[in-house]
Amino acid sequence: MGFDTAYEAINEGEDPGHRWAYGTGFTDPLAGVDTTLPSGVDGADLAAYCLMLGDDALIMSHRLQQWLARAPELEEETALANIALDLLGQARLLLSRAGAADGSGRTEDDFAFGRSEREFRSVRLAEVTDADFAGLIARLVAFSTWRLALLDRLRSSRDPVLAAVAAQGVRELTYHRDYAAQWLVRLGDGTDYSRERMVAGLAAAAPLVPELFEPVEVELRLAGAGVAVDPSTVRAEFDGVLATVLDGAGLQWPDVPGLAPVSGQAGRDGVHTEAMGYLLAELQSIARSMPGAVW
């Protein structure tokens, strides 16, 4: 069976409507996957952990999507769209895993569109806006380097679903990190102007980096059970990669203090920056104004 164009294939048959990938009503990405909890793993803890990793991907993906039609070149537009799509795919699997693990049966849409800001568990680095392309690149280098190190270790998680999502994600994040790192070198080692912008981008992202390595209780409990990764253990790998990239760019990691938690709470506790409310207002606007709508 072959077709000359994708449109012929899409419109083949009597009911081609299901072939158009838009709207709602997407199939559960874990359809047919065994989501039984491994012995000794607490379902509520696993769900909380999957929401952390899933929310990181969902929120970062949304920020990347906001770059579409604003990127400096068509190739960068395509790259950012691909990275956003990979992260959205990871988010869908992880949010679905959370709903299966906690026994609530909540779907990816319930989690993405039905929670309030305080219920999102993403790190604050994922949600902040970018002043310019260099700002995005600084944030993407930090985010993808950190997430790649985490997922690489999660390939051996005792939860087989989490391990499978991680194994797939590692190959995607390898591309994301290379892309962002190559741009960091190009901008840092480019003109005086591009260097100035890259330095400013790093200075904006750096205060949000210490939070990435602060474990919360659930992570430590699950790390002890062989399910999760204590994020403090990936700091050395992160620093090593950043040192290589910065060396190529002829830049230094900025010596700035971390953004302080609020009353000891940060993204993992549901305490976000001002940017998060605006982001969710956009992400959830259709679902909130027309609950249950399909199109």
Binding site for other proteins (CB under 8 A): 1-3, 5-6, 8-10, 13, 15, 18-19, 21, 26-27, 29-33, 75, 78-79, 81-83, 85-90, 92-93, 148-149, 152, 160-161, 163-165, 167-172, 174-175, 177-179, 181-182, 185, 237, 240-241, 244-245, 248
CB nearer other proteins, residue 106 or residue 186:
186
Q: What is the DSSP string of 153-171?
A: HHTT-SSHHHHHHHHHHHH
User: Cβ of residue 122: shortest distance to other proteins, in angstroms?
Assistant: 17
For residue 108, the Cα-to-chain-centroid distance in whole angstroms is: 15
Residues 74, 10, 171, 235, CA torsion sign: positive
CB nearer other proteins, residue 15 or residue 274:
15
Amino acid at position 227, single letter? V
Q: Is-contact 227 154, C-beta < 8 A?
A: no
CB nearer other proteins, residue 24 or residue 285:
24
Q: Is-contact 98 167, C-beta < 8 A?
A: no
CB nearer other proteins, residue 108 or residue 124:
108
Rounded CA-CA distance 195/250 in Å is 9
Helix, strand, or coil here: 279? helix
User: Cβ of residue 240: shortest distance to other proteins, in angstroms?
Assistant: 8
Rounded CA-CA distance 56/65 in Å is 14
User: Cβ of residue 34: shortest distance to other proteins, in angstroms?
Assistant: 10
Q: 122-140 in b/e burial notation, b at 16+ Cβ within 10 A?
A: bbbbbbbebeebbbbbbbb
CB nearer other proteins, residue 63 or residue 124:
63
Rounded CA-CA distance 225/7 in Å is 49
User: Cβ of residue 150: shortest distance to other proteins, in angstroms?
Assistant: 12
User: Cβ of residue 245: shortest distance to other proteins, in angstroms?
Assistant: 7
CB nearer other proteins, residue 92 or residue 272:
92
User: Cβ of residue 17: shortest distance to other proteins, in angstroms?
Assistant: 9
